[in-house]
Structures are given as structure tokens and as C-alpha cells.
Amino acid sequence: MNNCLSKHFRQIALGALALSLNLSLCSPLASQAAPSTAVGKSSDTTSSIKIASKKANKSSDLGGNLPKTESASYTNGAPFIDRMLKAADSYKDYVFEYEMVNYKGKKVVEKGKFYFKKPRMMRLEEVGNFRKGSIAVMGSGGKIRAKPGGALSFMTVDLAPSSDYLRSANGYPMVDSDLTSLSQALKTFIEKDSCVARVTENTVQSTSSAPSQVYVLEVYHGTNFDGEIYKRVAVDPKSMLPVEWWDYIGGKLTSHSVWNNFKGNVGLADDVFTIKGAKTI
């Protein structure tokens, strides 16, 4: 009888979690150390590609103003992505704040804080009005625990990495939202998903708060740049980490993310990646 009640209570709690917990990870970040270097013109880099302003900016009238790329020259983005991956992987731990606007379906604005520590520990906190107070953590053993905010904040549940409850409003999974995984995803788009990437040869003026100059990386479907744009990323030239990210489906903007207040190698304790003081069910 007690086992039946326990199972029933767990089902009720998970149902409540489905309604109140939609944790968002939109990945991550703003500037931090790392030497600034120009985009390399090595043997694996294609010739410069002159881009007309209309072509470069035609895909978005949402998500804020795009960086000023009207007169920019572009070059092969693959080596640049490798540099992004190396930069992201250089940190033992980090924390940043993010804001994401999802335009697919009903417009949703999410704000949160994301913590990461090697090898694969993560913590996500929702701090905006959307799902305020929700927390998800992945500890050193890969186990994920989560709790909603508000009236159900006393509950804590175990979730599988693939759980829909651990996806952001734009559908991206928590477990793939660290900076290394995001850079690796860009690499996979090119190597396995028949996409091509280009990046501005030099920094261009940003229209966001910081930094004032960014590289702009663009990923397109197809084998040339006449296809639909898929991703656009503004990258800090000092840290080689992303500061803004635009997602597109069918050439139309579906979400826009901004990462701020990045702090790397701050010595995060393992306790950061646990949920304490909540009733376990």
C-alpha cells in the first residue's frame, strides 16, 4: 500500500513538474581573457568572400539589430570554429548570465544563470519572470536533479538527460549547453550536417552593449552561401567565446540569445552542483 502511494505521489509530482518546470539553457556568455588574433589565412582557409549588405542581413528583423556587416569580407569559418572550441575548453569552470527570446510560437523571454565545472558538472538557475526559481543540476556522476520554483519548490526529482523538462523554450537540451558543446555543435554542422560556415575577416561593430567589436560567424544550409542561414554567432575577439547567438529555421529567426558577465576559472566548489534543503521524492 505504501509503495503504491509512493509511486502515485511521484507521478503527481512529475506531472506538476511538467507544468511548472521548463528549465532554460541557452547557452552561454560574454568576454573574458584569451589573446586576440586575426582570423588565420592558412591553407585550409578559402578565399575572401565579398558579401553584399542585403545578402548578409536579409534574414532577420527581430532579435535586436545585427552587427554591422554590410561591407565586411568573409573567409572560411571552419578554422575559426576550432579556435572557439579550444578557447571554450581552456576553462576549468565558469559562470555567466543569459537572456534568450524565443520567437517560435508564442514569444517567450527567459533569463538565468549557468554554472559549469569540468569534467561535466552544470547548474542552471531561472532568475527571470519565466519559471522563476527553477533549478537543475548535474553532478560529477552525471545524475541530474531538478526542482521547480514557487509553491512546488520543496520538491526535488531525478531526471534523464534527454528529459523534455530539461529543454529550453527553443528546445535546446541542458546537457549540451556548455560552451564546449556549443562550439562542437557548430563543428558538427559543417562536418556531418552538410552546412558551410563563414566568418568576418576582421571584427565589426556590435550593436549590443558589449563588447563593441565582434567577429560574426554564419552557418548556412547547403554547400554554398546561397542556401538558408541556420546560425549566426557574435564572438568576442579577446576571449573567442560567443556573446550573442541567433537561431533560424527556414531562414526565419526563431530565437536570439545574449550572454553577459562571464567569469572563468573562479574555483567553483562541487557543492554548487547539488540541490540542498529540498525534500527528495
According to the model, what pLDDT value does residue 170 have? 66
CA 71 to chain centre: 28
- 97 and 162 together in one domain: yes
Residues of the chain with pLDDT under 70: 1-64, 129, 151-152, 154, 167, 169-171, 277-281
According to the model, what pLDDT value does residue 62 have? 55
Cα separations in angstroms, 265 against 88, 135, 141, 216, 273: 12, 22, 21, 26, 16
pLDDT in tens, 236-281: 999 999 999 999 999 999 999 999 999 999 999 999 999 873 343 3
Closest CA to 97 of 263, 265, 270: 263
Q: Say if 154 falls within a structural domain.
A: yes
- 134 and 167 together in one domain: yes
- 223 and 272 together in one domain: no
- 124 and 149 together in one domain: yes
User: Is the preceding omega at residue 211 within 30 degrees of 0, hence cis?
Assistant: yes
Calpha distance 26→219 (Å, rounded): 18
Q: Say if 35 falls within a structural domain.
A: no
- 251 and 272 together in one domain: no
User: Is the preceding omega at residue 161 within 30 degrees of 0, hence cis?
Assistant: no
Q: Say if 44 falls within a structural domain.
A: no
- 168 and 224 together in one domain: no
| Residues across the chain | 281
Calpha distance 97→88 (Å, rounded): 16
Q: Say if 244 falls within a structural domain.
A: yes
Range of the domain at 205: 49-87+179-260
- 108 and 186 together in one domain: no
Contacts 24+ apart (CB under 8 A), 212-215: 213/237, 214/67, 214/243, 214/244, 215/39, 215/80
Q: Say if 199 falls within a structural domain.
A: yes
- 105 and 154 together in one domain: yes
- 96 and 71 together in one domain: no
The number of folded domains in the chain is 2
- 83 and 105 together in one domain: no
> Which three cell numbers mark 152?
512546488
According to the model, what pLDDT value does residue 214 have? 97
According to the model, what pLDDT value does residue 22 have? 45
- 212 and 131 together in one domain: no
User: What is the phi/psi pair of residue 124, to 5°?
Assistant: -125, 130
**In this structure, are residues 155 and 166 in contact, taking their beta carbons and an 8 Å threshold?**
no
Pairing state between β 213-221 and 195-200: antiparallel
Calpha distance 29→23 (Å, rounded): 18
